[in-house]
């Protein structure tokens, strides 16, 4: 779901409906409800806290985790640049930028695609996420937070 549609709680109750449906699907089972969004200019800490405060009453006893990618998810992909070179649409020999969380990850991806290649979030994110190098992406603080949340969730399910 698009970030703005999720966050605009007053528009047909999308925020509440989405969280309540997800919570219903995992209630009573081991697991965690993970909300992962782009900061897109917002302070990641403030946005995560706002979402947690608004979401906790809606999800009840379901474990909730909120991770906000600083700027955007694509920054994590930029941090994992060498692994993206294995995708035929990208230039070979890609090197991760020094400070990937400080740039526009979407623009970085578009600039490093071969001519005639395009990038579409809903189409390309799943495949590029499979190529993501978990260690390289750790240069991004927000990715380390994501990795920690996943590790914590896994430790609660075993």
Distances (CA, A) of 105 to 50, 52, 146: 24, 26, 17
In a 10 Å sphere around its CB, with 0-12 CB exposed, 13-18 middle and 19+ buried, how is residue 113 labelled? Answer: middle
**Is 70 exceeded by the pLDDT of residue 35?**
yes
pLDDT of residue 156: 74
User: Model-level pTM?
Assistant: 0.88
Average pLDDT over residues 14-27: 90
pLDDT of residue 10: 47
Distances (CA, A) of 31 to 5, 6, 66, 94, 123: 25, 22, 14, 36, 27
Give the pLDDT confidence of 62-106 residue by residue, as tens digits.
999 999 999 999 999 999 999 999 999 999 999 999 999 999 999
What integer best gives the mean pLDDT of the chain? 91
pLDDT of residue 11: 42
């Amino acid at each position: 779901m698009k970030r703005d549609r999720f966050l605009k709680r007053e528009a047909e109750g999308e925020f509440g409906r989405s969280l309540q449906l997800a919570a219903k699907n995992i209630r009573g089972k081991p697991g965690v409800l993970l909300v992962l969004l782009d900061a897109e200019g917002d302070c990641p800490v403030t946005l995560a806290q706002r979402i947690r405060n608004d979401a906790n009453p809606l999800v009840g006893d379901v474990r909730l985790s909120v991770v906000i990618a600083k700027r955007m998810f694509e920054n994590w992909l930029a941090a994992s640049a060498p692994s993206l070179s294995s995708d035929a649409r990208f230039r070979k020999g890609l090197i991760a930028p020094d400070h990937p969380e400080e740039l526009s990850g979407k623009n970085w991806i578009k600039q490093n695609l071969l001519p005639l290649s395009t990038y579409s979030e809903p189409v390309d994110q799943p495949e590029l996420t499979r190529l993501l190098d978990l260690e390289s992406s750790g240069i991004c603080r927000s990715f380390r937070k994501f990795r920690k949340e996943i590790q914590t969730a896994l430790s609660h399910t075993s």
